[in-house]
Amino acid sequence: MPKTPDYFRGKTVIITGAASGIGRATALIFAREGANVVSADIDTEGARRTGEQVTQLGAKSLVVPTDVTSREQVTDMVRRAIEEFGTVQFEFNSAGAALRRSKFLEIDDALFDKTFDLNVKGVFYGMQAILPHMLENGHGVIVNVASMSHKRGGPGTSVHYASAKGAVLTMTLGVAREFADRGIRCLSVSPGPINTPFQAAAQTAPEVVQRFRDDVPMKRFGEPEEIGELVLFMCSDACPYMTADTVYVNGGGGWR
53 compared with 152, residue with greater pLDDT: 53
Question: Quick check: is 255 in a domain?
Answer: no
Give the pLDDT band of residue 254 (cuts 50, 70, 90): low
Verdict on whether the full-model pTM lies above 0.85: yes
Domains in the chain: how many in total? 1
DSSP summary character for residue 250: S
Question: Quick check: is 254 in a domain?
Answer: no
Give the pLDDT band of residue 141 (cuts 50, 70, 90): very high
Q: What is the pLDDT of residues 200-220, one digit of tens each?
A: 554 566 777 787 788 888 989
- For position 80, which CATH number holds? 3.40.50.720
Active site residue 161: yes
From the candidates 7, 161, 241, 248, give the one annotated as an active-site residue.
161
Domain that holds residue 153: 12-249
Check pLDDT > 50 for residue 236: yes
Check pLDDT > 60 for residue 255: no
DSSP summary character for residue 104: G
Read off the pLDDT of each residue in 221-249 and give the average, rounded to a whole number. Answer: 97
Question: Quick check: is 5 in a domain?
Answer: no
Determine the pLDDT at residue 216: 86
Contact 16, 68 (CB under 8 A): yes
Determine the pLDDT at residue 256: 44
Q: What is the pLDDT of residues 36-80, one digit of tens each?
A: 999 999 999 999 999 999 999 999 999 999 999 999 999 999 999
Q: What is the pLDDT of residues 12-39, one digit of tens each?
A: 999 999 999 999 999 999 999 999 999 9
Check pLDDT > 50 for residue 156: yes
Read off the pLDDT of each residue in 228-243 and give the average, rounded to a whole number. Answer: 98
Question: Quick check: is 1 in a domain?
Answer: no
Check pLDDT > 60 for residue 6: yes
Contact 30, 8 (CB under 8 A): yes
Question: Quick check: is 206 in a domain?
Answer: yes
Query: What is the rounded distance in angstroms from the CA atom of residue 237 to the CA atom of residue 148?
Result: 26
Per-residue HEC secondary structure of the chain comes to CCCCCCCCCCCEEEEECCCCHHHHHHHHHHHHCCCEEEEEECCHHHHHHHHHHHHHCCCCEEEEECCCCCHHHHHHHHHHHHHHHCCCCEEEECCCCCCCCCCHHHCCHHHHHHHHHHHHHHHHHHHHHHHHHHHHHCCEEEEEECCCHHHHCCCCCCHHHHHHHHHHHHHHHHHHHHCHHHCEEEEEEEECCECCCHHHHCCCCHHHHHHHHHCCCCCCCECHHHHHHHHHHHHCCCCCCCCCEEEEECCCCCCC
Q: What is the pLDDT of residues 79-128, one digit of tens each?
A: 999 999 999 999 999 999 999 999 999 999 999 999 999 999 999 999 99
Q: What is the pLDDT of residues 126-139, one digit of tens each?
A: 999 999 999 999 99
Question: Quick check: is 84 in a domain?
Answer: yes
Check pLDDT > 70 for residue 198: no
Question: Quick check: is 256 in a domain?
Answer: no
- 106: number of Cβ within 10 Å: 9
Q: Which of 231, 178, 250 is nearest to 32 (CA)?
A: 231
> What radius of gyration do the chain's Cα atoms show?
17
Query: What is the rounded distance in angstroms from the CA atom of residue 237 to the CA atom of residue 153?
Result: 34
